[in-house]
């Protein structure tokens, strides 16, 4: 058995005692430093973490441009891991996937091909997916070869990588960021590219701009998935201090799913909330009896129509009340906490909107300055060579003879420099040219190139010589990026959301079992609900808003003006004979402009009321008054205000086939009802001639119609109104609206005698040559205003109609008539 030989030198133990707490502290600080600066936090200049920057840079070096084909994601991951980021393929692929998801980034930087995941599911493996750079990403990496940023060694000092990307747009604000470091974290919301660039341009032009100035351009985040942001106080706090929070809500519309079923249709969800999570939470809340009134939930999401969750409601439940419960017990309402922690000059800082834009603007100005200086040096170097060629080409034969007669290159260079007073660079350039290149140069071409170089050098020197010109260049380049890549805002910003009385009672009943009212967020002040001819709904406050005789800005006419209160209710009457309950508090407020409301800022009626196919909104009426209805077939009805309290819509008249409601208004016994037909027949009779009936009644005969005639207008005139007028617009039968000017007539309502109900009435308009039908008619408190289809105000005749009963010829088309407010 072999014997072990002892070592020549005796082994000496060297054990060092250390303090475990000090070792842990030092090691942990090194680890924390690495996480903060090399992994978790983005740079405030380009808005990228190191792994994201390395991915984009390596894909740019690989030539994966938008005009070229996709390559396997695994190839990109391998290149990045092997050359720049040796931290594992999973981390690289996860970062790459996020930059390709249009629901994570407002402006995706990678064009992915394949399954890059969804809000509920992860992506496919990198061997299955393919990727290339998106067009917007090229603007982040452009001009890297022009010394615009510093390059640093990679992990093994064999290659170099950019310390920061040039970033032609504020990527950090546009796409946001999220990351967890050691002892700190960042969570930044995405914003709209056009708004952020507009703010940056304003800051470039006005370096001393305040936060309020910038918030005129950037009112709040613009999330990739849309939705609604409720409450802007937290956003302003975040823009001021770098920390804040806001609530996001899903976009929900109330739709009539069937003749007896109403549903809530969700088309947008809060940021980073997936539909499967919402469905699961809703089902759990329904099973636990937290949610009431839901009968079914169907996910109809597909690639063509996008997100569509249909929540079917039980009969008798208020859709708005159920929606409020959904906000409370499901992820359809979520909170987003802003924490703008980012690296500035290598140090983590918490920045507000103003500071973030200042850091980016300073970076972009430095990039453009360095790019301009690089181009200037290149142009100057080329000009130096061109000047040398111009000297040599004058005596090209002698130059060739000098080169051929020289024993070596050094001797030829010295002779050229001595004879033609060339620099060493110029002489070397001439010596390196082939003989055929020397002969092809023409003096005209070189002189033209020299002039162009001198012009470009002068322009570059002008930019470098003026800070103002440099800033204007940066601003113009930002404007080009906005023009090319900016998209409309997706997220709606709401200062607050009020709770209507019906919703408050429903919520209280759902939570306590008693119909006790909850505290309301808006005062019950007087207001007026407005409906325009184009279907715009709004409300306005202030007594001056309803002054008579005043002008107003360009828009279509008002059809209904109902006095109510901010927490009150009004009813909307449709052409199908339905009445819909409308909460006034849900309508948008239009502040009076120059003392008068402008419905150009109204909201379409479909946002508030659910209309069936072929149904249109006729008028607003008080919900607690007797309402008179007139139909196209001449039927009249007065409805008693005995409406169901637990329903949002109901039938107020039983219509026969091919009949429709033409007009509706509150009518007391002392008022008068007026019909106007297409054949220009007008009938007025007292409202007391029509006894009030219940909701299901079919009404009674109002006007006797001639063969082929139909009712064009129905209205209510207050008793003994001295300013009541009749406006009629004549045209040619079969003419499309707006194609025939026709004639207009304005006459006093008092001129028409009252007749009995169910009679034919009297003639209201004598047709001119070529006219045979009334196109429009309106009766009410005057004066009246007309509008075209585009909403442009049109003047009506200032004097009453001619004595012969004919109208005044019109030179412009009129598509709507209503009272002047």
Q: Quick one: the chain helix, strand, coil %, rounded to 5?
A: 35, 25, 40
CA distance 414 to 178: 63
Site of tokens 């026969």? 656
Return the closest-CA partner of residue 558 out of 540, 574, 578, 570. Answer: 540
Return the closest-CA partner of residue 295 out of 334, 330, 260, 253. Answer: 260
| Structural tokens at position 274 | 């997936």
N-to-C CA span, the chain: 118
Q: Is 128 in the active site?
A: yes
| Structural tokens at position 812 | 């412009």
- C-beta neighbour count of 559 within 10 angstroms: 22
Contact in structure between 785 and 557 (CB atoms under 8 Å): yes
3-state secondary structure at position 389: helix
Task: Give the CB-side neighbour count of residue 157, counting CA atoms within 13 A.
Answer: 0
Return the closest-CA partner of residue 542 out of 530, 528, 552. Answer: 528
CA distance 786 to 820: 9
3-state secondary structure at position 85: coil
Q: What is the 3-state secondary structure (H, E, C) of 208-254?
A: CCCHHHHHCCCCCCCCCCCCEEECCHHHHHHHHHCEEEEEEECEEEE
Task: Give the CB-side neighbour count of residue 313, counting CA atoms within 13 A.
Answer: 26
* Catalytic residue of the set 57, 128, 239, 420: 128
Contact in structure between 406 and 415 (CB atoms under 8 Å): yes
CA distance 318 to 700: 33
CA distance 362 to 470: 12
| Structural tokens at position 466 | 């003026």
How far, rounded to the nearest angstrom, does the alpha carbon of residue 767 sit from its chain's CA centroid?
Answer: 49
CA distance 772 to 504: 54
| Structural tokens at position 496 | 């607050």
Site of tokens 């496919």? 124
Between the alpha carbon of residue 123 and those of residues 87, 132, 788, the distances in Å are: 20, 16, 53
Crossing angle between the packed helical segments 50-61 and 73-83, to the nearest 10 degrees: 110
Task: Please classify residue 405 by burial: count the beta carbons closer than 10 Å to its beta carbon, then call 0-12 exposed, 13-18 middle and 19+ buried.
Answer: exposed
Buried b (16+ CB within 10 A) or exposed e, 641-653: eebeeeebbeebb
CA distance 180 to 336: 16
CA distance 50 to 534: 53
**Alpha-helix runs per DSSP H in 518-602:** none
Catalytic sites, residue numbers: 128
């Amino acid at each position: 058995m072999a014997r072990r030989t002892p070592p020549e030198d005796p082994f000496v133990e060297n054990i060092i005692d250390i303090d475990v707490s000090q070792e842990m502290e030092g090691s942990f600080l090194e680890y924390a430093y690495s996480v903060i600066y090399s992994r978790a936090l983005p740079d405030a200049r380009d808005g990228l973490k190191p792994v994201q920057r390395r991915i984009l840079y390596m894909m740019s070096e690989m030539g994966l441009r938008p005009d070229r084909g996709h390559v396997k994601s695994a190839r990109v991951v391998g290149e990045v891991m092997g050359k720049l980021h040796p931290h594992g393929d999973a981390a690289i692929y996860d970062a790459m996937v996020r930059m390709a998801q249009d629901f994570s980034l407002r402006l995706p930087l990678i064009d992915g091909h394949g399954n890059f995941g969804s809000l509920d599911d992860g992506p496919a493996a990198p061997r299955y997916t393919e990727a290339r750079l998106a067009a917007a990403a090229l603007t982040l990496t452009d001009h890297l070869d022009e010394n615009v940023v510093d390059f640093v060694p990679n992990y093994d000092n064999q290659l170099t990588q950019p310390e920061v990307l040039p970033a032609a747009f504020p990527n950090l604000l546009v796409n946001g960021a999220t990351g967890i470091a050691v002892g700190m974290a960042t969570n930044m919301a995405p914003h709209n590219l056009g708004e952020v660039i507009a703010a940056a341009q304003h800051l470039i032009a006005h370096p001393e701009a305040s936060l309020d100035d910038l918030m005129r351009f950037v009112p709040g985040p613009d999330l990739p998935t849309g939705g609604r942001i409720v409450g802007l106080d937290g956003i302003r706090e975040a823009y001021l201090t770098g920390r804040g929070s806001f609530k996001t809500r899903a976009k929900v519309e109330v739709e009539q799913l069937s003749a007896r079923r109403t549903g809530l249709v969700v088309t947008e969800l809060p940021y980073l909330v997936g539909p499967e999570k919402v469905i699961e939470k809703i089902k759990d809340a329904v099973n636990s009896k937290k949610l009431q009134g839901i009968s079914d939930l169907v996910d109809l999401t597909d690639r063509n129509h996008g997100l569509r969750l249909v929540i079917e409601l039980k009969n008798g439940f208020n859709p708005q009340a159920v929606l409020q419960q959904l906000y409370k017990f499901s992820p359809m309402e979520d909170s987003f906490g802003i924490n703008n922690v980012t690296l500035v000059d290598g140090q983590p800082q918490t920045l507000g909107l103003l500071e973030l834009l200042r850091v980016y603007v300073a970076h972009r100005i430095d990039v453009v300055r360095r790019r301009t200086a690089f181009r200037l040096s290149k142009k100057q170097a080329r000009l130096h060579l061109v000047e040398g060629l111009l000297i040599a080409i004058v005596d090209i034969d002698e130059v060739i003879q000098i080169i051929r007669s020289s024993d070596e290159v050094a001797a030829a260079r010295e002779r050229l420099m001595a004879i033609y007073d060339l620099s060493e660079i110029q002489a070397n350039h001439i010596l390196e040219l082939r003989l055929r290149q020397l002969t092809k140069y023409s003096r005209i071409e070189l002189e033209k190139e020299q002039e162009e170089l001198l012009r470009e050098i002068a322009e570059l020197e002008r930019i470098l010589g003026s800070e103002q010109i440099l800033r204007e260049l940066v601003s113009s380049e930002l404007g080009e990026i906005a023009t090319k890549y900016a998209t409309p805002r997706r997220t709606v910003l709401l200062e607050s959301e009020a709770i209507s009385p019906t919703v408050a009672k429903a919520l209280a009943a759902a939570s306590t079992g008693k119909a006790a009212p909850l505290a309301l967020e808006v005062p019950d002040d007087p207001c007026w609900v407005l409906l325009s001819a184009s279907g715009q709904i709004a409300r306005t406050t202030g007594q001056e808003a309803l002054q008579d005789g005043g002008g107003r800005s360009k828009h279509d006419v008002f059809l209904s003006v109902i006095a109510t209160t901010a927490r009150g209710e009004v009813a909307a009457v449709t052409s199908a004979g339905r009445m819909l309950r409308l909460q006034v508090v849900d309508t948008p407020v239009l502040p009076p402009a120059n003392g008068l409301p402008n419905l150009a800022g109204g909201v379409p009626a479909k946002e508030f009321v659910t209309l069936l196919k072929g149904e249109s909104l006729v008028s607003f009426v008080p919900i607690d008054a007797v309402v008179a209805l007139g139909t196209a077939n001449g039927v009249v009805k007065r409805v008693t205000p005995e409406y169901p309290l637990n329903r949002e819509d109901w039938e107020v008249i039983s219509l026969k086939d091919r009949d429709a409601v033409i007009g509706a208004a509150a009518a007391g016994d002392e008022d008068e009802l007026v019909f106007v037909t297409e054949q220009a027949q007008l009938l007025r009779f007292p409202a007391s001639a029509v006894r009030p009936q219940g909701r299901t009644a079919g009404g009674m005969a109002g006007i006797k119609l001639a063969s082929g005639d139909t009712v064009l207008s129905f209205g209510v005139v207050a008793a003994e109104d001295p300013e009541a007028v009749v406006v009629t617009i004549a045209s040619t039968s079969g003419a499309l609206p707006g194609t025939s000017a026709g004639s207009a007539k304005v006459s006093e309502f008092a001129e028409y005698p009252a007749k009995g109900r169910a009679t034919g009435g009297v003639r209201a308009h004598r047709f001119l040559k070529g006219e045979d039908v009334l196109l429009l008619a309106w009766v009410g408190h005057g004066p009246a205003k007309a509008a075209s289809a585009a909403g442009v105000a049109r003047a009506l005749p200032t004097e009453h109609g001619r004595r012969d009963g004919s109208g005044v010829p019109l030179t412009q088309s009129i598509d709507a008539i209503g009272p002047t407010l």
